[in-house]
Structure 1
Amino acid sequence: MAGVSGCLKYSMFFFNFLFWICGTLILALSIWVRVSKDGKEIITSGDTGTNPFVAVNILIAVGAIIMVLGFLGCCGAVKESRCMLLLFFVGLLLILLLQVAAGILGAVFKSQSTRLLNETLYENAKLLSGTTNEAREIQKAMISLQTELKCCGLDMGAEDWGNNFQEAKESCKCTDSSNHQCRTYQGVNVTSQTCLSLVKDLFEKNIIIVIGLAFGLAVIEILGLVFSMVLYCQIGSK
């Protein structure tokens, strides 16, 4: 009877350890995109009726399950357990299908997501001059965002703040007077660069990072399916 290849066995263990690390990374990155300190309120607030983070939410679930599967694969390889290896294979196949579904959703609804993001940002621009609790939350997030990105307002610039400009003027200031993007508003030298395009660029870059990581992980998953099935067959033929 054929034995189990020691090289394949420990290669499977090393692969699953790497797989577990990848699962941890994709989970951490997806959560960061979903609850970003600087952009969460701005991107997800508003009554759009649709969640623009559908693909990211799927990847959060994928990352969590991948961590469990990585541990299961390591144990199955070391203990030569056909049951664990079969569970690993089935679970990994389901994960791969989920990632394909997330990719299809991202491609199909890309234009719709962009439209919803634009609508949400323009809607939130109106809240910068508001006084409600919801408006105050948006304003706090915007002040932090303006400080980091060196921009001011979302739609028209400093004018978006209305009577609340005094609270945001420090984050709107343009320190380089020779910069052509500087202008004067209510006696304050502010930047004419609005945050609208910068927020959209930030959103798109984060999504691209997540998608790129997901594709890289898919290659590792396919290798895992092959290794686990070969090892499963070898154990069965002992």
Structure 2
Amino acid sequence: MSLIECFSVIKYILVFVNLIFWVIGATSIALSIWMLVDQTFLVTLSQDHSNFYAGLYILLIAGALMFIVAFLGCCGAYKESQYMLVSFFSCMLLVIVAQVAAGAWLYVNSDRLEELVRSSVHISIKNEYGVISSRTKIVDIFQQQLHCCGANGSNDWAGSKYSNKGSNSEILLTVNQGTIFIVPKSCCKDEKTMDCEKSRKMRIADVIPSAIFNDGCTNLILKELRKQSCIFFGIIITFGVFEIVGLIFSLTLCCAIGSNGRYKA
């Protein structure tokens, strides 16, 4: 294969790689705009609108940046424009640096993120279940799907707003061995059985009934998040490989175009 043919191959590979980036950017933009516009979806997912909006705007900005970078790379390669290819190279380099910085931040702050998850689960069970409908649905889902009950166990429901809801007594500020509490149906292994209804009323320090899930949810949630994070980082690494290929090919093609008559598409 001659040098001219090699540069032609590089040119069209770069166009193809940037088309992939363009599709990813366009998808991110469309997805974030849909979630921002669809109020039903937003309310169903989260009551914490400020954090949710922040995440969506970050996704929107990232998608827009990827869309622009892909446009520069694709047009620059196809039109053989050095200016576009240099702009693509510079923007892509900034994106890679930002991704590395974000990955380093996540690694350094992994313990803080874990504590945030633990705190969030605990607060949802103690104060938000039965009060905020979206939190109630989320807790029910992960208790049923992960086969767990409470943050660290069923005793976490003692003194919760849900356990004291509808009772004549005030919300318990402290709990002891004699505290009687109620767990939700989602703590049951089978919600439709009579054993479920009989076992939901419990006392601290008593043996957990066989009809109730024994494990707490927090560690299971963190385990599932670690499993999903491995898949996520695998995708990011694959994506990073494409970015580096685009970086190298854009620089190679830019140098070839700038050479005196050595390359003609």
TM-score (norm 1): 0.70
Question: Cα deviations across residues 110-138 of structure 1 (Å, max 9, x unaligned)?
Answer: 1222122222222222125664xxx4442
Distance 2:84 2:129 in 1: 58
Q: How far apart in 2 are the matches of 1:55 and 1:227? A: 32
1:7 shift after superposition: 1.9
Q: 1:228 to 1:19 in 2, by over 3 A?
A: same
Contact 2:183 2:201 in 1 (8 A): no
Instruction: Report the equivalent of 2:15.
Output: 13
* Residue 204 (structure 1) aligns with: 226
Give the aligned partner of residue 103 of structure 1: 103
- Highest RCO, 1 vs 2 (Cα 8 Å, sep ≥ 6): 1
Structure 2 match to 1:168: 184
Q: Which runs of 5+ in 2 are unaligned?
A: 166-180, 192-197, 203-208
Shift of 1:98: 0.3
Pairwise CA distance, 1:109: 0.9
Aligned equivalent of 2:137: 140
Asked if the contact 1:13–1:78 (Cα under 8 Å) also holds between the matched residues in 2, the reply is: yes
Match of 2:251 among 219, 229, 237: 229
Structure 1 residue 24: deviation in Å? 6.6
Moved over 3 A (4+): 18-25, 54-64, 128-131, 163-168
Structure 1 residues 86 and 129, CA, compared in 2 at 3 Å: closer, same or farther? closer
Aligned residues: 212
Question: Given the superposition, is the C-alpha separation of residues 61 and 198 from structure 1 closer, same or farther in structure 2, using an over 3 Å criterion?
Answer: farther
Any idea what the Cα deviations from partners look like across 1:18-71, whole Å, max 9, x if unmatched? 34456578x59x98xxx999x965xx96xxxxx8xx999977754542233223
Determine the C-alpha separation between the residues in 2 that align with 1:136 and 1:58. Answer: 26
Matches of 2:156 and 2:104 in 1, distance apart? 40
1:186 counterpart (185, 201, 211)? 201
Seen in structure 2, the aligned counterparts of structure 1 residues 14 and 136 have a Cα distance that, compared at 3 Å, is closer
- Take 2:71 and 2:144, find their aligned partners in 1: how far apart are those partners? 42
Q: Which structure would you say has the larger Rg?
A: 2
Corresponding residue for residue 127 of structure 2? 127
Confirm or deny: 8 A CA contact 1:129 1:163 kept in the other structure.
Answer: no
Summarize the Cα distance change of 1:71–1:129 in structure 2 as closer, same or farther, 3 Å threshold.
closer
Change (3 A) 1:96 1:57: farther
Query: How many percent of aligned residue pairs carry the same amino acid?
Result: 31
